[in-house]
Each structure stands twice: as C-alpha cells, then as structure tokens.
Chains A and B, each alone.
Chain A
Amino acid sequence: MAGRGRGRGGHRGLSFDPGALGFGRGEGLPPPTLQPPPIYPPLEFKPVPLQEGEEANYLLALKQEFRGSMRESPYFIKPQSAKKDIERYSDKYQLNGQNKRQGLGWTPDWNTFPKELRIREKKPKRLKLSVKPSLSGTKLKVKGQKGDAKEAENKLKQILQAEEDGEDDDDEDDEEEEKKKKEAEGEEEEEEELYDEEDIEEGTDYALSYFDNGEDYLDADDDALEDGPVY
C-alpha cells in the first residue's frame, strides 16, 4: 500500500543522506538549534591595550577639537527643523535663524563652481512693494480723479521693471514677477470694492506714510505677518 518506503506520505527522515557527507552511523548532525545564534562570535583572546603616550594623547585631542569645530562651521548643513504641529503666535516673533534658511552661509568662488549650484534667495521685499501701489491707487481713484487707476498700474509696472533690471536674468524671477503683478492687480480690484462700501473719508484721515514699515519690517517675519496691517 502507499506509505511504505519512500513515498509521498513519508515525512520522516532527512532530505539528504548523512552517509554521503562522511558521517558514520550513529554520529552525526549537530543537535537541532532552539535559539537564534549569538549576536557576536565568541572572543577567544582579549585585545592588546591601545597605544599610550604623548603623541597618542595629542592626536586624540586634535581629533576631538577638529570634530567639534567642524560642527560649528558653515559647512555643516543642519537639516531644516521639523515644523511644529500647531502654529503658535510666538513663532512670528522668533528670530532664531528663520531668515538663514535659504543661504549657503559661505561664498564659494563661482568661477570654479558650476553655476547651476547657485541658490536664488527669495526676496520678501517684492511683496512689500506690491502692496503699496495698490493702496495708493485706490485712494486716488476714490478721490474721483479719472485715469489714475491706469497711472497706478503704470507706476507698478515701472517699479517691477526697475527690479527686474537690477537682478540676474532668471526665468523664475520673471514668472514670479508676473504672478506678483497679477496678485497686485487682483488686490487692487478687491480693495476698490471695499472702499466703495465703507466710509469714503477714512482714506484721507491717515497720513500716506502711515504704512511705511521701514527696511527691516519683513526681514525677520514669516509670510503670515504680511496680512497684519491690511484692515
């Protein structure tokens, strides 16, 4: 019947023949392992102690000092700190290096380095300029003078043109400027509507220099703060 001898039903025995490997009868394969092998091979001989002496100590001190100084150097690129889970109000007023994110920290000699490795720094000032003309444009319009909307747009274009000439030619910059222009124009239109609804005389109570925030206004802050003075 089936099951006798070496058949499909037989699971007994090993898959190979111990006799062929050179073991005699009865001796044999090592006992089955019941636990994972040890992590480290056993150390038979203890290692010789390390070199001593002035030279070794000096080398060690040099090494540690070098390592420490490299950590502080600008060549050590710290990964960007992970964003906090909740945006806190105090984040806006933190000055701890949020402005250093973009730059390299040191200038390589661009004659010997490939130019594509240059990092373009985003300039927050452009946003500031785009806000200003839109407000002055609306004020002028509210006063009833005709054609001033066009003047404002021309002014805006001039300012943006001047900026463009002063910078390196870069496609990204152009695209960003076009976006800014559109943004500014969009804002202009929105604010026109707001002003029409509200009291007209609010526009003349404030001096024009009220919204001049100074040079270091936007340097230390995030984009979020830009929403601040627009009431």
Chain B
Amino acid sequence: MAQSQVRLGGLLLQHQYGEIVENVGTFLASKGSFALRDITDGTKLGVNEVKKALCVLIQHNMMDFEKNRRGLIEYTVHINKVLLITRYPRYIYCAKTLYGDVGEFLVEELLSHGQMLMSQVCRRVSDRITQALEEGQSMDEFQVRKTFVELVKTHFLQRVASPPSDSGDNADSETELQVMEKEMFLIPPAMDIDYSKVHSSVTSSSKRKREDGEEGDKVAKRPRSTSPLSDEKNEDAPDKGVYWHVNFTRFHQFFRDQSVLSAVNSKIDRYACEIVRTMLRISEKTTVPLAPTTHPMSSHEIFQNLPPELDLNRQTLGEYLTLLAEDKTEIVNKAGESGGGMYVLNMQKALETLCKASIESVVQERFGSKCSRIFRLLLMKRHLEQKQVEDMAMIPAKEAKELLYKLFSENFVTMQEIPKTPDHAPSRTFYLFGINMHQVSRMLLDRCYKAMGNLISRREHENTENRRLVEKSQRVDAIAASLQSSGADTTQMSEVEEMITPPERQQLNKLKHDISKLEQSELQLDETIFLLESYLPGSAAMVMY
C-alpha cells in the first residue's frame, strides 16, 4: 500500500507544486528521513531548488524537521498529509455549508497558503469579498474575524505548534509542545474581538479600521491572488508569530458524523436521525474526538437536548432508542438502566457498517449480484463450507463454485483449512470460507489509491495530447478578448471565432467533458477512500471479523 500511496502522493505534488517538489517529496517518502545534503545528492537537483521545495512542504504542513544526534537537521515527509490534497474541495464546501461564504473563503485561503497569521488571512478575505460585492458596499473585517473566531471555537482551525527551534536544546521542546496543546485554540489577546467598539456592520468599514490602528489606507481593491506573503507588512501585525492552519481531524470527524447520520436516516427515519444527532452533540463535550465509543448518556439528557420542533414525547423517544439499540448494526448500545437507560454511540461499529455496505456494492458492481449474495451470506454466517454456500445462496452448484472461487482469487474471501486427519488429505479436510473485513478493506484501499493515481495520470495524458489545441484556443480567446475591449465590430469577432474550426471545437468540447468526468470520479473516489481510511485504524485490533 505504501507504494501506491507514494505514487499518488507524487502525482498530487506534481500537479499542485511542480516537479521539483514532487522529486523531493517522493524521494523522502520512499527512502525515509534525510538531511539536506543527502537529499541534494539523492535527487540530483540543485541545492537552491531543494531548499525551495523543502520550504514549500514545511509551509503546507506536510513536512517535519528535527535535529538528529549528529546535529544535522533531518526532514521527514508525511505522505498521509500529502494525500489529503484530494479532499481540499470537500473541506471548502463543508465550511461553506456551515459558515457561509466568509467561512468558505477563510478555509480556502488557509488551504492554499498552508499557514498564516490571523490578521493576514482576515485582511485578505475581507478584501476579496469587498471586491466581489457591488460598488459601495464593503465587507467589514469584523465579520470576517468573527467567523474566524467561530471556526476556532469549533476547532476547525488550530494553531500551528511551534517546532523545536534550530538552536534550542531537546529538553525544552517537550514542554513547549505541552504548552502548545493547551493553547491550541486560544486566540492571541491582540486579535480578540472587542464587541464594544463596533457600531454598525457593513458600511462602517473605514471607521473600524481607524480604531484598529492598523493600516488605514487599505481601501484599494486587490485582486484575489496568491501573491507572495512578503507583500504584507508582517512586522506590524499584532499577532506576530501565531500561525493558524486547518484542523483536518475535526473536519474528518464532521464528515464521519454526517455519513453516520445519513445512514441512520435512510435505514430508519428522520426522527432517529435527529436523535442520533442530539447524542452526537452531547458527546462532543465529553468525548475525545475520533474515539471508538462515546461516553454513555442517559435518555433524560437526550430528551432535554432534543430540538423542540421534533415534538417527541418521552415514550416515543424510548421506543426509538430501543429500536436503535436492537438494530443489527449496533450503532447504539444500551449500557445500563440508570437515568432512564444509558445509551452509548458506537462509532466504530457504525463505520464498520458503512464499510460493509461500501464493499458489498463494490462486489456487486464488479462481479454481479449473485456474487454479492454470496458475499453477504458469508458476512452474515462468518464461516461456511463450499457445499453450505451453494445450498444457502440458492445458486446452482457449478455457478456457485465458480463465483466463490472468483471472489477467493480476488482476495475478497479467505479460506481456512481444518484437517480431520493428520495427513491433511484434501478429501478429509474442511475448507471454511470467511471474510476478514480488515484485510478486505486494506486491499480495497490500496486499489483505490492506485485508481486515483490512474485517474490523475490519465487526465495528465489527455492534457498533454491536446496541448497544442488548448494553447491555440487560449490564444484565440486572448485575441478575442483584446478585440472586444478595444471595441471591434462583429465581422472581426466572427473572423476570430472562425480561427478554430468546428472539428477542433468538437475536440475541445470532448476534452473538457472528459477531464471534468475524470475529476468528478476523483472526488467520488475520495469519499470511498475517506470511509475506508476512517474505518481501518479502529479495526486493527480485531484480527478476524
């Protein structure tokens, strides 16, 4: 699996940051941690280029560095962070649904820059929104800051832990990190929002800026650009040294909760979904994020915290809870009788259910519905002999044998030999077929990484094949745009349009269509990857089933 991860990581780095970063990244990912000189020797690139690449990777939180025993600094790349690049659009969209456009822009800026000061990011976003709004209106930076603070409060953004400094000794770094954990979500006092100072919301932007004491001349509109950060005046930012980045764990937790809720919704009904949502909200305060099970909560507590518009009485709530607890998927477990019944949400089981459903649909689409029937049968019954499979699945024997062995050859199904006699004669041995969820999930995850890598390289291939055509169309568009801005008449415009012949236009359309299809597949594949990735760490403890 590491090999397909490294390949995928390399492709992602290449498209995001260029070939030099890709070389450095894949070298470190496949060979381990190295110091600067070894990297330069190994990748055969220039020293300056390697330095630039390392800076970029550190800035985007994909790399760590530490001093080793000999005093040199060793760099390690975290390939799982690199793989998160595929999920960036999903994070941005999630922020949009939760916090609106302001949240969306905040998260987008932070994702494209890696880490930034709060003042910088707020300023950029407010400029960007000001530019996007109509004339006369302007976005108050106060609003932006408020949203930022909310994002921090709900832990979607967090502070960058300060790494061990170059010259410091090792003893201090431990305490530093501990201190950082407590402060992870604290806004520096300089940036705290002072509610008393604000008079009105949108149009008083100039007033607010004067009171802030920061640059009061920032009325000029700046285009949305990832312009170099050195443009900004770092020195007089009040929160110097406090960098923020996106907290991916929190987003993952949110996604996981969303998928569990939608599963409950489709399996039972929306009341059950609301109940589970309430349970999740209660457990947010008491449980460590990404724990396998939540803290037990009493049904009284759940009843008190239910949203009022649901209009459930205690009895119905009790019935729903019993229904959930007795459900085969074991998402909700009853942990005791005190307090009207203590209930626990078992997230690991929920993820397992989701994974099983995913894998079942994979089997169905790849091998057919009869195979899927056999697969589900094996999931239910855990160990079956071949003859039993034929009988229970109600499929003719020859076909059943064929399908079972096909599944076995593709490693979806495992086989256990149990000999009756010491000489292991085949005619006198039980051959039991079963499914090991952990193993199958791993295998599928590896396949998914490979598939994602294939999608990206196919997209690249399409681009290079049609590069000449794409460049031509870009040039034509540029000519057309310049003609239009200088006020040309329609004959000239139509001449320019005709520079691209109809078959070329068709080819261009087809290219666009293909590329968007490939990208959409990537996004959808990423959802499966996310599900499998969240399931795997918890299931490692369970060896079989």
List B contacts of A104 (CB < 8 A): 52, 55
Q: Which residue of B lies closest to A120 (CB)?
A: B48
| Stretch among A46-54, A125-133, A152-160, A186-194 lining the B interface | A46-54
Interface stretch of the complex, out of A3-11, A30-38, A71-79, A223-231: A71-79
Check A20 for interface membership: any CB of B closer than 8 A: no
Interface of A is mostly: loop
Q: Is the CB of B93 within 8 A of A75?
A: no
Q: Is B228 in contact with A114, judged by CB distance below 8 angstroms?
A: no
Q: Please, which residue of chain A has its CB at the minimum distance from the CB of B368?
A: A45
Q: Are A109 and B112 in contact (CB under 8 A)?
A: no
Evaluate contact between A50 and B517: CB separation under 8 angstroms: yes
How many angstroms between the C-alpha atoms of A47 and B46 in the bound complex?
46
Please state if B20 and A79 are interface contacts (CB–CB under 8 Å).
yes
Candidates A59, A60, A69, A102; contact of B226 at CB < 8 Å: A69
Contact-size category for A = 35 or more
Give the CA-CA distance A67 to B162 in the complex, in Å.
Answer: 29
Q: Is the CB of B51 within 8 A of A77?
A: no
Choose one: B15, B59, B111; the contact of A67 (CB below 8 Å).
B15
CB distance from B68 to the nearest CB of A (A): 12
With known contacts A111-B241, A116-B36, A72–B523 Cβ distance under 8 A: no
With contacts A50-B517, A112-B162, A116-B36 taken as known, whether A107 is within 8 angstroms of B20 at the C-beta atoms is no
Residues of A within 8 A of B16 (CB): 67, 70, 76
Q: Which of B84-92, B204-212, B293-301 is found at the contact surface with chain A?
A: B84-92
The residues of A that contact B20 with a CB separation of less than 8 Å are: 77, 79
Contact B58 A108 (CB under 8 A): yes
Chain B neighbourhood of A51, CB < 8 A:
520, 524
In contact, A60 and B516 (Cβ under 8 angstroms): yes
**Chain A residues with CB below 8 A from B18, complex form:** 76-79
Bound-state Cα–Cα, A200 to B108, Å: 69
Interface membership of chain A positions 37-67, coded 1 if the CB is closer than 8 angstroms to chain B and 0 otherwise: 0000000110110110001101110111011
Q: Judge whether A89 is part of the interface by a CB distance below 8 angstroms.
A: no
B365→A48 contact, CB < 8 A: yes
Partner of A77, one of B21, B365, B520: B21
Taking the complex as formed, is A28 at the interface, i.e. its CB lies under 8 A from any CB of chain B? no
- Chain B residues with CB below 8 A from A106, complex form: 228-230
Q: Which of A48, A55, A109 contacts B243 (CB 8 A)?
A: A109
* Chain B contacts for A50, CB-based, 8 A: 517, 520-521, 524
Q: Does A115 lie at the interface of the complex (its beta carbon under 8 Å from any beta carbon of B)?
A: yes
Interface presence of A105 (CB below 8 A): yes
- Contact of A62 with B15 at beta-carbon distance under 8 Å, contacts A50-B524, A69-B226 already known: no
The yes or no answer to B325 lying at the interface (CB within 8 A) is no
| With A45-B366, A79-B20: A114-B65 Cβ-Cβ less than 8 Å | yes
Cα-based distance from A109 to B244 in the complex (angstroms): 13
Q: Do the beta carbons of B166 and A114 come within 8 Å of each other? A: yes
Task: Indicate whether A107 sits within 8 Å of B243 (C-beta atoms), given known contacts A70-B17, A73-B112.
Answer: no
Which residues of A are found within 8 Å of B160, using beta-carbon distances?
Answer: 112
Judged by a CB distance under 8 angstroms, whether A117 is at the interface is yes
CB 8 Å contact bits of B260-287 with A (1 = contact, 0 = none): 0000000000000000000000000000
Question: Is A119 part of the binding interface, using a Cβ–Cβ cutoff of 8 Å?
Answer: yes
Interface string of B345-375 (1 = CB under 8 A from A): 0000000000000000000011110000000
* Alpha-carbon distance between A55 and B95 when the two chains are bound, in angstroms: 13
Instruction: Point out the residues of chain B lying under 8 angstroms from A79, CB to CB.
Output: 18-20, 49
**B32: Cβ under 8 A from any A Cβ:** no
B307 within 8 A of A: no
Any A CB within 8 A of the CB of B419: no
With a cutoff of 8 Å between Cβ atoms, the chain A residues found around residue B17 in the complex are: 70, 75-77
Chain B proximity of A78: nearest CB distance (Å): 6
Query: A63: which of B58, B89, B241 is its contact (CB, 8 Å)?
Result: B89
A119 lies within 8 A of B89 (CB): no
Residues 81-117 of B, flagged 1 when their CB comes within 8 A of A and 0 if not, give: 0000000111011000000000000001001111000
Residue of A nearest to B230 (CB): A107
Nearest A residue to B50 via CB reads A117
Shortest CB-to-CB span from A117 to chain B, Å, is 5
Residue B54 at the A interface, CB < 8 A? Answer: yes
Confirm or deny: A210 has a beta carbon within 8 angstroms of a beta carbon on chain B.
no
Q: With A and B bound together, what is the CA distance between A73 and B368 in angstroms?
A: 47
Are A117 and B51 neighbours in the complex by a CB distance under 8 Å?
Answer: yes
Is the Cβ of B56 less than 8 Å from the Cβ of A60?
no
- Are A115 and B166 within 8 A (Cβ)? yes
Question: Given that A59-B90, A107-B230, A113-B55 are contacting pairs, would A75 and B366 also be in contact in the complex, using a CB cutoff of 8 Å?
Answer: no
A66 to B522 Cα, complex, angstroms: 14
Are the CB atoms of B112 and A70 closer together than 8 Å?
yes
Q: Which residues of B contact A45 (CB under 8 A)?
A: 365-368
Q: Is there contact, CB below 8 Å, between B243 and A116? A: no
Kindly state whether residue B165 has any CB partner on chain A within 8 Å: yes
Min Cβ gap A54→B in Å is: 11
CA distance A228 to B36 in the complex (A): 39
B324 an interface residue at 8 Å Cβ cutoff? no
Query: Which residue of chain A is the closest to B241 with respect to CB atoms?
Result: A111
State whether B226 touches A75 (Cβ < 8 A). yes
Known: A75-B56, A109-B243. A66 touches B112 (CB 8 A): yes
Q: Which of B47-74 contact A (CB under 8 A)?
A: 48-49, 51-56, 58-60, 65, 73
Sort A-B residue pairs by CB-CB distance and give the 4 closest, nearest first.
Answer: A73-B226, A106-B228, A107-B230, A62-B89
Pairs A–B under 8 Å by Cβ, sample size 12: A62-B92, A62-B93, A69-B224, A76-B16, A79-B20, A79-B49, A106-B230, A108-B59, A109-B234, A111-B241, A112-B163, A114-B166
Other than the given A48-B365, A69-B224, A114-B73, 7 more pairs (CB < 8 A) read: A50-B520, A64-B519, A67-B15, A70-B16, A77-B56, A79-B20, A119-B52
Residues of A within 8 A of B (CB): 44-45, 47-48, 50-51, 55-56, 58-60, 62-64, 66-67, 69-70, 72-80, 102, 104-109, 111-119
